[in-house]
Amino acid sequence: MKGIILYQSKYGATKKYAEWLGEATGFDVIQTKQAKIKMLDEYEAIVLGGGVYASGVLGLSFIKKNIAALKGKKLAVFCVGASPYDEKAVSQARELNFKGEMQDIPLFYCRGAWDEDKMSFGDRTLCRMLQKAVAKQDPDTYEPWQNALMCSVGQKCDWTDKKYLEPLIEYLAK
């Protein structure tokens, strides 16, 4: 099967996963912003990868905008976030982003990285505000993403691992 991986990466983890997936599948790999819908005609499978920010998936608007032209193709999306896998959070991201014609597109999750030094001023500020708000809660009530957020303060963490791609690779092999 001829496939392509489109990705939108803000700080590098999604790009790393896209390249690993390209190596594992033999699919072409390009940034979503370079993709044109007409160029996708030659592909049978299209995978989109994007970072998760406020439950949104970077680059997903490309699929949403072009969903009619992608009919009949094998589609999949992987999102990358700093939190450990949490079914509730993935389900919430699915509910928010995969409506209507997109509801049957499978969504996979890969854990990314955390490096405040690489973050934009806006992202760093937002994270610090979120950390202050979460710090006011009882730690015993933290959701997985809140726990990860609080444990990452002031640290550089890289949780990327090829194992997160295994379910996606299995799906593409079917």
Query: What beta strand segments (E) does the chain contain?
Result: 3-8, 28-31, 45-53, 56-57, 74-81, 107-111, 113-115, 156-158
- Residue pair 30/21 in contact (Cβ under 8 Å)? The answer is no
pLDDT at residue 162 in the model: 97
Mean pLDDT of the chain, nearest integer: 91
- Say which residue, 145 or 47, is predicted with more confidence: 47
In the chain, where are the structural domains located? 3-112+159-173, 114-157
Beta bridge partners of 161: none
pLDDT at residue 24 in the model: 97
pLDDT at residue 23 in the model: 98
Closest by alpha carbon to 40, among 68, 8, 13? 68
Residue 138 reports pLDDT greater than 90: yes
Q: Express each pLDDT in 60-74 by its tens digit.
A: 999 999 999 999 999
Residue 155 reports pLDDT greater than 90: no
Beta bridge partners of 107: 77
- Residue pair 34/59 in contact (Cβ under 8 Å)? The answer is no
Residue 139 reports pLDDT greater than 80: yes
In the CATH hierarchy, which fold is given to the domain comprising 3-112+159-173?
A: Rossmann fold (3.40.50)
- Residue pair 50/32 in contact (Cβ under 8 Å)? The answer is yes
pLDDT at residue 61 in the model: 94
Q: Express each pLDDT in 41-94 by its tens digit.
A: 999 999 999 998 777 899 999 999 999 999 999 999 999 988 888 888 888 888
Residue 150: band (very low, low, confident or very high) from pLDDT cuts 50, 70, 90: confident
pLDDT at residue 35 in the model: 95
pLDDT at residue 29 in the model: 98
